Structure 1
Amino acid sequence: MPTTNRLVAAICLAILGAVVAELIKPLMPEGTGFGKFTWVCAGLGVLVGWFTLGPRAGGSYTNAINNGVTSVVMFVLIGLFTFGAIEMLTQALRHRFDDPMVALKAILEEAIDYGQYLLDWRVATTLVIGAVVSGLLTEFTYRRWR
């Protein structure tokens, strides 16, 4: 059921996803084709905000911060899996895998490779601050328009 806290959570995590995507772009190797990278990150933020952060509103502000951090961790894990799977599919279409298990292992390897870009202090700080702000804004919205 659509609620204002779900909408605010989706908007907050979409903005966070787009900002983090733009922070990651300069860290990637030169000549990397990004395509719709920012839009995919924002879309994943919308989904995680709508289905994870939004419904959890309704506790204390400490719970709100915890919900924000949990949702951002989930957002990062889903994002890493998504981009690892996209890279694996790209390689699979080039016939680089002989065995399906090797292809599934490649998803994890690519996700770990992409996860290293999240260790930059600007990206990590943005994720932490965005998690706290998203959780608090969602809780405020829940209390305001309950």
Structure 2
Amino acid sequence: MRAKILCSAIVIISLAGCSSFRKSISTDISQLSAISKAQLSNSFSSFWKELTEEANGKSLDHYIPSQKLIERYSLREQNQQFLVSGFLHTDSTFNKTDIEELGGNIVTYSNKIKTFSVPIKKIPQFIQVKGIIFIEISKKVKTI
């Protein structure tokens, strides 16, 4: 009985947190991690921190990243929106159509390893996709 009550409370708290996330973005990295079903890499967390600082509490729907952020995280513009790319480690419950419905793209290399690109305005929904275990953002390779 206590377990059911505890699970219900966690679900309610999670849903309340997610609904407020869509209105504006928070600079609190722990909030992003708290709603994520996946583990986020340090570089993905750094990207999120810089993005939220730049957006300064505004909605991601109309946010345009700075040139610095575009270059640092290899963001690309496509169809008047900016996309972030990277790598996913997934389990058997992952379905690539969940990402495609967000306007993203998936390339499968193995059952568990995939690359992704997704609009930055869809990151809060993206990190909640079922079957994603770990998210790593891609960066440009620097030649010496």
Structure with the higher fraction of residues in strand conformation: 2
Q: TM-score, normalised by structure 1?
A: 0.26
Larger Rg, first or second structure (1 or 2): 1
Choose between structure 1 and 2 for higher RCO, CA contacts under 8 A separated by at least 6 residues. 1
